[in-house]
């Protein structure tokens, strides 16, 4: 059962059709997210395997206990598992799997696209031309600038490689990961504070943990250059959204481009929607046809393997 296929991705996919063709397997996909924890528990009644499509679906201790003893497998679509109570799952004998690195290239490319669009003011210029304006103004050239990458997992490393390819210098703050393949002379590992103070642009790729939650707040934005650009394609909860909105409104930093938010979908009344120096996309960085094909089939492979007592990509 997919409790949260909203907007629908799994419902009509060839990947889910593979699962439907298996003997003795019934597949249910809900194209509206559960409105509460209690609605999620009700949907899990009689369910053996849950495919979690959205990180906004909180698979808490209470949810897992409410779905026991029938629930045996939580198959997460994506890499992040902070929305799943992994220790409770382990205690209850529920296996949790994920789909690591399926969208690494897609997310890194989206982060670079957001950075380029922000530096070149593409959305604003597009609107002005459509309105009949032919305005001038100064844009930002990224070659020769310094990109700070916070979080050096697969996506952060991929972004470093492609940003270096357009002539950027790279500062990296690992946030506990081991930096791999950092042999380039243009890559320098620094402290988080040094990265904040010395980067012309910062792209966030850290995992969400108790230590990294709201790691970007008022004091962090105040340390950044007033010309700095901020990109987040990781998790919305890594950033204090009110502090970010204030930093943008006060021009503490020059601009931001965001694909993830504290609450999704983003409230249309959010202060972020009214700021001219922010670009917003709907948590879509991983949604290339190539990445979707790999990740959807990977999560279905995880389900099929579990049904056949052959578990892969297990995180608990």
Please state, in angstroms and rounded to a whole number, the distance separating the CA atoms of residues 152 and 171: 11
Active-site residue, selected from the candidate residues 205, 207, 283, 313: 283
Asked if 260 contacts 204 with a C-beta cutoff of 8 angstroms, the reply is no
Q: For residue 3, count other CB atoms closer than 10 A to its CB.
A: 26
Q: How far apart are CA 100 and CA 61, in angstroms?
A: 23
Catalytic, 169? Answer no
Write out the H or E segment, with its range, that includes residue 299. helix 289-307
205 is catalytic: no
Whether 283 is catalytic: yes
Active site residue: 65, 194, 246, 264, which one?
264
CB-based burial label for 293 (10 Å; 0-12, 13-18, 19+): middle
Catalytic residue among 30, 158, 235, 313: 235
Cα separations (Å) of 274 from 109, 134, 193, 280? Answer: 26, 23, 30, 11
Contact present, 51 and 1 (Cβ < 8 Å): yes
**Closest to 244 measured CA to CA, from 259, 222, 267, 268:** 222
Active site residues: 235, 264, 283
């Amino acid at each position: 059962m997919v409790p949260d296929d909203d907007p629908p991705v799994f419902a009509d996919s060839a990947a889910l059709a593979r699962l439907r063709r298996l003997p003795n397997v019934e597949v249910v996909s809900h194209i509206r997210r559960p409105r509460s924890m209690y609605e999620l528990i009700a949907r899990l009644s009689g369910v053996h395997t849950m495919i979690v499509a959205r990180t906004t679906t909180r698979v808490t201790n209470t949810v897992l206990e409410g779905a026991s003893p029938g629930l045996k497998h939580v198959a997460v679509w994506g890499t992040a598992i902070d929305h799943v109570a992994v220790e409770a799952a382990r205690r209850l004998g529920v296996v949790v799997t994920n789909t690591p690195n399926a969208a690494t290239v897609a997310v890194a490319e989206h982060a670079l696209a957001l950075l380029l669009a922000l530096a070149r003011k593409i959305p604003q210029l597009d609107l002005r031309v459509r309105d009949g304006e032919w305005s001038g103004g100064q844009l930002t050239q990224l070659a020769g600038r310094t990109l700070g990458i916070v979080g050096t997992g697969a996506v952060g490393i991929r972004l470093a490689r492609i940003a270096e390819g357009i002539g950027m210098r790279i500062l990296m703050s690992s946030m506990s990961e081991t930096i791999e393949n950092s042999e380039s002379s243009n890559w320098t590992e620094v402290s988080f504070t040094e990265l904040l103070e010395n980067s012309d642009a910062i792209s966030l790729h850290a995992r969400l943990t108790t230590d990294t939650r709201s790691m970007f707040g008022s004091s962090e934005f105040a340390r950044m250059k007033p010309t700095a650009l901020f990109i987040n394609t990781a998790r919305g909860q890594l950033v204090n959204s009110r502090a970010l909105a204030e930093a943008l409104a006060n021009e503490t930093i020059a601009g931001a481009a965001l694909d993830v938010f504290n609450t999704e979908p983003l409230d249309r009344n959010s202060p972020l929607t009214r700021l001219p120096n922010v670009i917003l996309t709907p948590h879509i960085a991983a949604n290339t046809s190539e990445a979707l094909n790999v990740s959807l089939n990977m999560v279905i492979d995880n389900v099929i393997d579990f049904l056949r007592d052959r578990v892969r990509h297990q995180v608990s």
